[in-house]
Structure 1
Amino acid sequence: MSGRTQDRACPERTCVGCRERAAKSDLLRIVEVEGACVPDHRGTLPGRGAYLHPASVCLDLAVRRRAFPRAFRVQGPLETADIRYHVERQTL
């Protein structure tokens, strides 16, 4: 045997807010579109992606740490209203 298991390994990503690793399926992919952070529900939007737990705590940490501009390699602040709306709607 080659040492591989029959189960496929689940890809992991790091949340830009809390910096904890989690399964890719548990995180929300975010992309930058024209100076705004936009949730990518299907994971098909082009460009660099950042991953975030769909929780307001992680979103607040990411904004406070300026994680989105760093993740997308852009200068200046990014608009996060779309993400905040999505996260708050998910927690209801």
Structure 2
Amino acid sequence: MEPVRTCVGCRARAPRSSMLRVVARDGVLVPDEKAVLPGRGAWVHDTDSCLTAALRRRAFGRALRVSSPLETADIDARTD
């Protein structure tokens, strides 16, 4: 049975293989395509609507337990 994760954008549950893991590296949100980077990760569907919702709700900061503002340029580029 495959692990299930909750999307920080839409709050729906889905298999881990269908989602994108995002981590914070030195105050920058970094997409973790292979899900191997160390540290706490947040899971989101790799769709414009979920990424935009997560950014709008500031869900990445809460999920990653980061109190300082995060640079979102790499994630914003995925939504274009």
TM-score of the two chains, using structure 2 as the length reference: 0.91
Write the mapping of 1:1-92 to structure 2, written as runs, cut at 5 A. Answer: 9-88=1-80
Q: Secondary structure at the match of 1:37?
A: strand
Equivalent residue of 1:50, what SS? strand
- The count of residues paired between Structure 1 and Structure 2 equals 80
Contact persistence 1:31–1:40 (CA under 8 A): yes
Unaligned runs of 5+ in 2: none
Larger radius of gyration: 1
Q: Which has the higher contact order (CA 8 A, sep 6+)?
A: 2
Quick one: distance in 2 between partners of 1:43 and 1:52? 12
Unpaired stretches in structure 1, ≥5 consecutive residues:
1-8
Contact in 2 for aligned 1:56/1:84 (Cα 8 Å) = no
* Identical pairs, percent: 55
Q: Partner letter of residue 27 of structure 1?
A: M
How far apart are 1:81 and its partner, in Å?
Answer: 1.4
Q: Which has the higher strand share?
A: 2
CA shift at 1:87, angstroms? 4.6
